[in-house]
Structure 1
Amino acid sequence: MTHITSFFALVLLLAGAAFSAPIENRQVIPAGCTNITISVTASSSDNIPLPPDLTTANFLLLVNPILSRVLDAVASGTYNIAATYCPGVGTRANTLQILIHGGSYTKAYWFGEYFNPDNSWVSYASSEGYATLTIDRVGNGDSSHPDPITIVQLPYQAEQVHQIIVMARGGTLPLPAPYTGTIFDKIILAGHSLGSVVTNNLNAKYPSDADATLLTGYAIFFPPQFTGVFVQSWLAPAFLDPRFAGYNPGYLEFNNENYLTFLFYAPGKFSQSMADVDFATRGTVSLGEAASVMIGSIETTYTGPVMVITGQHDSIYCSTLNIDVQILLGTPLCDMSANGIVGKAATLYPHASDFKVVFPNAGHCWHLHNNASYTFGIAHDWLASQGF
């Protein structure tokens, strides 16, 4: 049954204190977790046939006509995927959460950017006994960085996640002892933002891969009035940053902290120290990712339970105006009805065994807001109610 559930964690927000530790004091991954490298061979016939001369300057001119064409470009290859594995315990030891980060992030997102444990989804999941596998999508973080236009697109990333799920169910993930050979009989997919688009793509093509799905920072489609400004004005070639020296010019990064903060945070709901760390450690977005997100979301035959968790002040999905105008007017308030842009995501999952939407009192990256742990609890209580 489809219905919308909303909540407002005002008490926790008022009680949340700013976390002001310096960047150099960021926490390491939780004890017992291990960084691993997964060699993934995948092929996608659904990538957009983008021109190799795509740039930020000609992005809309070249991309818009392409979107009316059949998506028949083939991308294939074997690339390394950097991941962090945290084992589960008890009855949930063989239930694996695969966590897929959004644009301009890495797997560190699911650890609260290694800054504040209260913002770590992984720490919460571990406390509930779940095993987790956080990955750097190809082209991001410590994973391989192939061609950012023809290879690093969302459909290809979905194919890679599919192969990782095949490994997880078959006991062939390169896990350290004593977990080598572990066969996971339940798979939970959780995505954020672009990671949620990847998850939706995977659910459409491989509807039996995941037993449960959480889509965070997500809505039914990516607002077209946002795309041009985002790519052409708010992103710069990443190689201009010494951290990414030598990168292909098709890899981009945010060039202004105020823009990032407006897009990802809701005023008064977050620690400025967290936002500062976020910008200082920001990752990249490829031109291929930016173009392929405009494919739109896909209706699925997926039958598992689905929860969408999108902040009620999500400036990416809930801005109804050109983003340059919206930033002057201030953070938007989402339409939280079933007919709003977030609620309509239910139309992509008409066969889901359960579908819920939750609106935390936060912005797009609600995991990094002061009430994150409360929202983590909502998500995991729901998973338990679904038998996970």
Structure 2
Amino acid sequence: MKHHDKQTTGRLANRESLIIAILMTAAGVFATAQPAAAETMPKCSDHTLNVTLAPGETETLQLAGTLCSQGLAAGKTVQILLHGSTYARYYWDFPYQTEHYSYVRAATKRGYATFNLDRIGYGASDHPDGNRVDIDANAFVVHQVVEALCAGEVASQRFEKVIVVGHSMGSFTAVNYAGSFPGEADGIILTGFLHDLSDSFINSTFAPAVYPATLDEKFAGQFPSSDYLTTMPDTRGDLFYYLPNANPEVLALDEALKQTVTVGELGTGLAMVSDPISFQIKGPVQVVIGEFDYVFCGNLVNCSNKAAVQNYEKAFYSAEACVDTAVISDSGHDLNLHTNANAAYSQMLSWANRTVGSTAGAAPQPCGTP
């Protein structure tokens, strides 16, 4: 056991040195290019909302999020960003080469506002009993966020149009939300998600890599019970990446920033792949998957075949959802953290422009248009 601890300590020390070097390099680049960067950096502000986990509950929890926009947010469509399990809002605004790895920056450059959340149980948001934070609770929280944005309760700005954007467990949440409150959002984008799971990958790779956060040095003393889980050290590359197209520095920073997931989410979220609630969704839906997303691809769907992905996914929605799919070549599960992240951003934002629009008013090709 002592030998293992020394190995872990040495590994963490090496990783910390690498992280420091990455951040120092990024700071140096910013210092030499500050005037140009300032022109495209969005203006952001942090906000908290009081939410409950279910209708009729009286206990309120604090939900943290960051609102960003280039220029005034007035009149813009807002995108609510929902990260996946063991991440937090940094997934959408990764703190490394942000011109490349930040979806927030890409979306705000295209004229959108973004409200980037730490979902309940993550980051700066409250961490209640992990058994209570399940997929239904997550969906109900999103409903409250949409209501708050439309009512002007965030930055005193009323938003007329809302797109809910999910990744992985955030996409499970988006499906549950959109099916539970059909037509409330103007569109949903589901990344790192299909209505299928690779059982072999879940059993052979994912399950052995997840353990109670209380056993992880990073979270020592934070989670006394086993209702919060995390990934074992140095497993995230195999879990979430197509390694031939991943930057080792991104992998190292991902490992250093990793978060947790509740047992409630894992126990209920994965079931969304077979839940008929998606048939209740109304309005435009985009599904974006990496060609080498081992979590979903290779079981019933060949993700190298875009037509096959499109035909497969359409079968899980009504015609009112007008589903569109995009396959990102040479990418794995974490689309935002691969070297071709901008290929995913381009697909997502082009689709959003066509079907919803970045500003108030009619979109060029709303759902139902031939």
TM range (shorter): 0.7 to 0.9
CA distance in 1, matches of 2:73, 2:258: 36
Which residue does the alignment assign to 2:109?
127
> If each structure's helix is expressed as a fraction of its own residues, which one has the higher value?
2
Which residue does the alignment assign to 1:111?
93
Please state how far the C-alpha of 1:377 moved relative to its aligned partner: 1.5
**Gap regions ≥5 residues in structure 1:** 1-18, 45-73, 322-331
SS at match of 2:119: coil
CA distance in 1, matches of 2:84, 2:253: 16
SS at match of 1:33: strand
Which of 226, 241, 261 is residue 285 of structure 1 equivalent to?
261
SS at match of 1:296: helix
Please state how far the C-alpha of 1:353 moved relative to its aligned partner: 5.1
Which residue does the alignment assign to 2:250?
274
Preserved contact between residue 93 and residue 129 of structure 1 (Cα < 8 Å): no
Preserved contact between residue 238 and residue 253 of structure 1 (Cα < 8 Å): yes
**Which range moves more in the overlay, 215-224 or 364-373?**
215-224
**Which range moves more in the overlay, 230-239 or 118-127?**
230-239
Which of 198, 203, 223 is residue 173 of structure 2 equivalent to?
198
Q: Deviations over 1:75-133 (max 9, x none)?
A: 87311111111135479743110000001100000012455431110000111111100
Preserved contact between residue 89 and residue 131 of structure 1 (Cα < 8 Å): no
Matched, 1:352 2:315: no
Preserved contact between residue 239 and residue 246 of structure 1 (Cα < 8 Å): yes
**Which range moves more in the overlay, 162-171 or 85-94?**
85-94
What is the 5 A alignment of 1:174-193? 175=155, 180=156, 182-193=157-168
Q: Deviations over 1:51-91 (max 9, x none)?
A: xxxxxxxxxxxxxxxxxxxxxxx987311111111135479
Which residue does the alignment assign to 1:32?
43
TM (norm. structure 2) is 0.79
Matched, 1:317 2:296: yes
CA distance in 2, matches of 1:152, 1:283: 15
CA distance in 1, matches of 2:68, 2:49: 15
What is the 5 A alignment of 1:1-388? 22-25=21-24, 30-43=41-54, 77-87=59-69, 89=71, 93-149=75-131, 151-173=132-154, 175=155, 180=156, 182-229=157-204, 232-244=207-219, 245-247=221-223, 248-257=225-234, 259-297=235-273, 298-320=277-299, 334=303, 336=305, 338-340=307-309, 343-352=311-320, 354-361=322-329, 362-388=331-357
Equivalent AA in structure 1 for residue 341 of structure 2: A
Alignment root-mean-square deviation, CA: 2.8
CA distance in 2, matches of 1:384, 1:333: 28
CA distance in 2, matches of 1:287, 1:346: 30
CA distance in 1, matches of 2:343, 2:314: 24
Please state how far the C-alpha of 1:34 moved relative to its aligned partner: 1.3
| Identical amino acids, percent of aligned pairs | 28
Residues 343 and 293 from structure 1, CA distance in 2 versus in 1: closer, same or farther, beyond 3 angstroms?
A: farther
Residues 349 and 22 from structure 1, CA distance in 2 versus in 1: closer, same or farther, beyond 3 angstroms?
A: farther
SS at match of 2:93: helix
Please state how far the C-alpha of 1:153 moved relative to its aligned partner: 0.9
Q: Deviations over 1:237-257 (max 9, x none)?
A: 212334423214211111131
Equivalent AA in structure 1 for residue 167 of structure 2: H
CA distance in 2, matches of 1:288, 1:335: 32
Preserved contact between residue 346 and residue 355 of structure 1 (Cα < 8 Å): yes
Residues 141 and 91 from structure 1, CA distance in 2 versus in 1: closer, same or farther, beyond 3 angstroms?
A: closer
CA distance in 1, matches of 2:308, 2:188: 21
CA distance in 2, matches of 1:196, 1:380: 17
Equivalent AA in structure 1 for residue 110 of structure 2: E
Equivalent AA in structure 2 for residue 202 of structure 1: Y
CA distance in 1, matches of 2:245, 2:140: 36
Residues 334 and 290 from structure 1, CA distance in 2 versus in 1: closer, same or farther, beyond 3 angstroms?
A: same
Preserved contact between residue 193 and residue 218 of structure 1 (Cα < 8 Å): yes
Preserved contact between residue 64 and residue 125 of structure 2 (Cα < 8 Å): yes
CA distance in 1, matches of 2:100, 2:80: 20
Equivalent AA in structure 2 for residue 349 of structure 1: Y
